[in-house]
Structures are given as C-alpha cells and as structure tokens.
Chain A
Amino acid sequence: MLMLLILALILFTLMFLAVPIAVSLGLASVIIVLIWGMPGFVLAQKMVNGIDSFPLLAVPFFILAAAIMNASGITTRIVDLLGSAMGRLRGSSGQVNIGTNLFLAGISGSSVADASATGALLIPEMKKEGYSGAFAAALTATAALLGPILPPSIPLVIYGVIAEVSIVKLFIGGYVPALMIVVALVIFVNRHARKHDLPRRGRQGGAAIWRKFRISVWAMSMPILLIIGARGGFFTITEIGAVLVVYAIFVGWVIHREFHWGDLPSILKDAGMQTANIMLVVSASSFVAYLMVVHGVPKDLSRWIQEAQLSPVAFLLMINVVLLVAGAFLDSTPATIIIVPIVLPSAVALGIDPVHFGLVVVVNLMIGLIHPPMGLNLLITQSIAKEPMGAILKESIPLLGVMLAILMLVTFIPATVLWLPGVLGM
C-alpha cells in the first residue's frame, strides 16, 4: 500500500508541475523500481509490450483516415450541407455545430481534434448569428465529446484492449448514448435560441441541399462502412481502420478531388506523431497497471466490496465519482489503463456487463474534458473564441449538467448501451 501511495504522490506532483504525463508515469515507476529493488528490465519490457497489440493499430488508422478526410475538405462540406438544411431553425449555427460534431465523430475518434476542427469554423459563425462567444465555445467543447463516444473511438479501442472485450460490441454500444447526447444538446440549443430570440436564416432549396448531400454522403457513410464491416464479420477492428484509410483516400482523391498525393507524407507524419503521443502514455501506463495487479489491488477492492456488501448501483455510483475526479486531473488514456484493471474484476463480479461498464468509463472520462481544472476541450475552444475562461465556464455549467444527466442514464440503464448490440445479435 505504501508503494502505491508513494507512486501516486510522485505521479501527481510531477504531472501538476507540467512534466509530460508519459514522463511522470515512467519516472514514478523508475523511482518505485529503485526503492523496492525490482528488476528494471521488467519496466522496459512492460513499456514495449504495452503497445505490442494488433487491435491498438486501429488508433493510427482512425487518426489517419480522419486527417485524410479533413485534408479533403470534409468539415467544410458537412458544415455547408447542414447549414443549408437547417437554416430555417432559430439560431441554426448552434444546431449545425452539433450536427457537424455528430458526423465528424463518425470519422474521427478524438474529441480534441473535433473541437479544433468545428470550433475554427463554427464559433465565428455562431457569434455572427448572435450567440455569445462564451456559449459558442462551451457548446463546441461539449458537442465534441461525441467524438470518442460514437465509433470509431480511440478511448473505446484502448478500453477494449485493456478489458479484453469485443471492440466492435463497444463501438455499437456507443451509438445510443451518442444519440442521447445529440438529442439533449439539440433541445438545449433550441431553448437557448428561443430565449435569446436568435434569428432564422432561411432554408435553401431542395435541389441545392441534394447536390451538397450527394457530395458529402461519401464521407458521411464512413460509420456505415464501419458497422457493415464489423457486424458482418468481414474485418477485425484494425482491418476496418486500414480499409477506412484506403476509403478516405478514394473519397478525397476520386470524389472530392481535393486530396493531393504530395500531401500524404506530411499527413502520415502528423498522424504518426499524434499516435506516438497517445501510445507513449499507454506504454508508460502499462507498468503502473502491472504494479497494481501484482500488488493485488483489484483483489483488495473486490474483498472490500464484498465486506461492505455494496450493491451494483452503489458500486457504479462510487465508480462515477472516482472517474469524474480522475477525469478532472488525468488524461483519459492513463486513467483508463490504470483504473480499469483495478475496478473491472469487481464490476464483473457484481454482474455488470463489461461493455456497459466500458461506455460508463469513457463517458465519465470524456466529461473531464469540459470541466476544470484540465478541461482540455474548453481550453481549445477558448483559444478560438478568445473569451475569458470565467465566462465560458459559466456557460458550460448547464451543459455539464446535461452531460451528467446522460451519464446517469447510461450508468443506471444498461439497455442504453446493450440494447443495440443485442438487436444486432451480438
């Protein structure tokens, strides 16, 4: 226990001093190895083995497919299409923001990437339409949370690898929670637009919408390709990633004609670097997770839950609190890798489905992106909106309330996650 306390103390001290998360994890592990005289090569081996996984290859593929799609102007096309179709709604740019994040979520698996892409285009647009910059920033940060909940999702891939659960089932389980978030945000924005009497812009003709739809539909059908490939058993999740990369090149090069082969090396490099940044954290977390398991933390937790006679509802409530706090201070990747091996055995022992539990974990940790002190999505949208963080936080509170309400539904109604995989016979 003393070892784990020292590990946590060093880890959090280093992280708060802005030492990179992977370095904090690695250095805390090295200190433990030195103090307790453990064989150091095990740390090196765990770091390499932590990323030696075929399913993890899906991560660079999803990042690369999204980067190729973005280089082909997909974000602009989706904004253009939704802007035309939703123009008659009051304060339509807010709804376009949610819709764009929904469609981008089906292409990329990263909330931060979606917040940057949609924020740059839609925050200025929303301000022009009469929304406050702070509200536009808060909404964009919240709507971008769809990225890791709707497939393809990088956090769900990482959870699937750690928990040894079907990533396809996790992906399909993410659809209903994602749609719940969309519905809730659409209603919220609609009420906000009415309250502030925002204008309507008018709708374009059906022919113009159809023309824009025909061009955008290729990119927007990536999630459908993903489901068909996964559900049909044609591909593994990693293979789907590779197929999506080839599909993205096809759409960008042949359909949109905006993808240039000369751009490919820099797109590959950027996607590779993004992957390395995430995976170094996975690599460094692996030893910490190993320490937890070797020192019997999951068993101790299970024993404590038995002794305390905790019900599944009380356990899930406790997990929600732990994960919300963890999400406030830790990046989702190390939080998933360190916490999941500790709590999953207890969850399974209490009869909680690991797929359901995976979505609870991911939705929880994603909420950390929109509340202090880290709130990475808020920091990104603040830099675009150029509004004081205090004003953005004030606008975020009701949206945070919406997300917490959805988290409670996802946590306590397992069917929100398990119904769709069940319908699809999984």
Chain B
Amino acid sequence: MSTIIVRLGDILRAVLSVIVAVALFLIVVLVFYQVIARYFTGAATPGLAESSRFLFIWLVFAGSAWLIGKGDLIAIDFFSSRMRPGAKRLLMIFIDLCTAALLIALFAYSGKLLDVVAIKRAPATGIPYGWVYMALPFFCVAGLWFIFERAVATRLFARPSGKSDSGI
C-alpha cells in the first residue's frame, strides 16, 4: 500500500517538476520575445506580459506543492534542530498538521473564489480567470497528497522519511 502511495507521489513530483521547468522556460521565451518584438515593431504586446504573469502563478503554486513534498519550504529551524528525537517527531507531526489545516482552508476558500471569478476573462488574452486561480486548489490537493504520503511512508515520522526525487 505504502509503495503504491510513494510511487504515485513520485509521479506527482515529476509532473510538478515539469510544470515548473516548462513554465519558467516559457516565461523567459515570452518576455525575451516581447523585447525583440517591441524593438522591431515598436508596439507593446500586453498579451505576452499577461500570459507570463499567469504562468508565473502556476509556477509558484506547483513549485510550492513540490516543496511541501520535499519538506523544503523556508522555515526557521534554529530551535527545532536542537531538539531530542522524540520531541522532534512530535514537532514534525505538528508542522504537517498545520500545513494540512492551511491547505484544507485554502481549498475551501479557493472554491468560493472560483465561483466569484467564473465569468471573468483576462483583458489582453481572454483567458478565463478560473484557469489562473485553479492553481491554488491544485496546490492544495497536491500538497495534501504529499502530507498523506509522508505520514504513511514514515509511519508518522517513526522511521526516516522515504523521500524520493523524481525530478527531471
């Protein structure tokens, strides 16, 4: 059971890595093309800037989900690094519970947000805002999966984390 969960987690990590790398590559290409296009045509291309911003939002939330999976989000571990193993285990469970609570709340809030923006479209590209804001519930679901995976794979941190990196 736990092997299947970890394997699914690996696939999800790989998908998130690809989203992040491709999004960043496309952002560089779009912004650089904007510079070139403006130089030759003298005209601004607001659609390119808008697309880049939306890709950036997806990059940030996909990358953040991956970071939750790796336990690599920026944290102040000055005091926790000096804790004894038993206390540290409790702390790690507490941290994952806090993260899960936030993700569940954000998932609920983003559902309401998607309703609010359902008929709105971006001015320059016409992209529905729902697609852009969808990054947030996607982040929540992926992050929750990783927390569940970690809890199962490490038996609530009773054994070393079965971290795996299927990065590209």
Interface residues of A (CB under 8 A from B): 14-24, 26-27, 30, 33, 39-41, 43-45, 47-48, 51-54, 56-57, 60-61, 64, 235, 238-239, 241-243, 245-246, 264-266, 268-269, 271-273, 275-281, 283, 329, 331, 373-374, 379
Which of A15, A26, A51, A272 lies in contact with B102, CB distance below 8 A? Answer: A26
Scan residues 101-144 of chain B and give those whose CB is less than 8 A from a CB of chain A: 101-102, 105-106, 108-110, 112-113, 116, 132-133, 135-136
Q: Which residues of chain A have C-beta atoms less than 8 A from B102's C-beta?
A: 23, 26-27, 30
A18 touches B24 (CB 8 A): no
Residue from the list B24, B27, B98, B167 in contact with A14, Cβ < 8 A:
B98
B15: Cβ under 8 A from any A Cβ: no
Contacts of B164 in A (CB 8 A): none
- A242 touching B63, Cβ below 8 Å: no
Q: Which residues of chain B are near A283, meaning CB under 8 Å?
A: 60
Residues of A within 8 A of B77 (CB): 18
Whether B109 contacts A44 by the Cβ 8 Å rule is yes
* CA distance in complex: A44, B95 (Å): 21
The answer to whether A17 touches B113 (Cβ under 8 A) is: no
Give the most central of B75, B136, B168: most A CB within 10 Å. Answer: B75
B59 to chain A, nearest CB (A): 6
Residue from B24, B53, B64, B98 with most neighbouring chain A CB atoms (10 Å): B24
For B73, the closest partner residue in chain A by CB is: A20
Q: Is A44 in contact with B113, judged by CB distance below 8 angstroms? A: yes
Residues A16 and B112 in contact, CB atoms below 8 Å apart: no
Given contacts A30-B106, A57-B53, 11 further A-B contacts (CB under 8 A): A16-B76, A22-B73, A23-B99, A48-B57, A64-B24, A239-B31, A265-B21, A273-B66, A276-B60, A280-B61, A283-B60
CA distance A242 to B101 in the complex (A): 37
Count how many chain B residues have C-beta atoms less than 8 Å from C-beta atoms of the other chain: 55
A57 touches B75 (CB 8 A): no
The residues of B with any CB-CB pair to A shorter than 8 Å are: 17, 20-21, 23-25, 27-28, 31-32, 34-35, 49, 52-53, 56-57, 59-64, 66-67, 72-80, 91, 94-95, 98-99, 101-102, 105-106, 108-110, 112-113, 116, 132-133, 135-136, 167-168
What are 23 A-B interface contacts by the 8 Å CB criterion?
Answer: A19-B94, A21-B73, A27-B101, A40-B112, A41-B109, A41-B113, A43-B106, A44-B113, A51-B57, A54-B53, A61-B28, A239-B31, A239-B32, A245-B32, A269-B167, A272-B20, A273-B72, A276-B20, A276-B62, A277-B63, A277-B64, A280-B67, A374-B78
Q: Across the two chains, which residue of chain A brings its CB closest to B50? A: A54
Complex contacts, B73 vs chain A, CB 8 Å = 20-23, 277, 280
Question: In the complex where A277-B74, A280-B73 touch, is A40 in contact with B63 (Cβ < 8 A)?
Answer: no
Which of A47, A265, A278, A373 lies in contact with B136, CB distance below 8 A? A47
Q: Is B95 touching A19 in the complex (CB atoms < 8 A)?
A: yes
Task: Establish whether residues B28 and A64, one from each chain, have CB atoms under 8 Å apart when the complex forms.
Answer: yes
Measured between beta carbons, the chain A residues less than 8 angstroms from B110 are: 41, 44
CB distance from A313 to the nearest CB of B (A): 33
Interchain CB contact (< 8 A) of A54 among B49, B75, B94, B116:
B49
Structural contact, B24 and A266, CB atoms closer than 8 A: no
Q: A241–B105 Cα gap in the complex (Å)?
A: 35
Contact yes or no, A18 B59, CB < 8 A: no
Residues from chain B with a CB closer than 8 A to the CB of A241 are 31
B122, chain A: closest CB distance, angstroms: 10
Determine if A17 and B109 form an interchain contact, defined as CB atoms under 8 angstroms apart.
no
